[in-house]
Amino acid sequence: MTTKICYIWAAQKSEPGQHGKRYAATSTSTPPEPIQPVKVPHARNLVYQESMYGNWELLGTAKGECYENDYGYFVVLETPENTGRQIDVSDLVRLGWYTTV
């Protein structure tokens, strides 16, 4: 049986004074699409400062199959302790259940 690998990514807020990260998982080493800033309604060329994120940076890999849905990014783990367990990528990062690069 071949073990699948998920690549774990993080993007940080890019504006001064803004803090926060978003996480994603892909089945290839290609990063996800950039996070698009949210436009301010009825204001030309303005976006909400808190919606601006930098480029995706590779954090590491996890054994398992990854997917995305309306609720976020998930990994179905393939480890001896957690085979078949579905976990949100942000929880996977918080718990340190991935291998760093």
Q: Confirm if 59 and 49 have CB atoms less than 8 A apart.
A: no
Question: What region, left, alpha or beta, does residue 87 occupy, with left being phi > 0 and alpha being psi -120 to 50 degrees?
Answer: beta
* Chain centre distance of CA 78: 19
Round to whole Å and give the CA distance between 61 and 79.
13
Domain boundaries in the chain? Answer: 5-100
Percentage of the chain modeled with pLDDT above 70: 98
* CA distances, 45 to each of 17, 36, 40, 51, 67 (Å): 21, 13, 8, 14, 33
pLDDT higher than 80, residue 21: yes
Query: For residue range 68-88, what is the model confidence (pLDDT) as tens digits?
Result: 999 999 999 988 788 888 999
If you average pLDDT over every residue of the chain, what do you get?
A: 90
Spatial CA neighbour of 58 closest among 6, 5, 12, 101: 101
Global pTM value: 0.85
Q: How confident is the model at residue 1 (pLDDT cuts 50, 70, 90)?
A: low
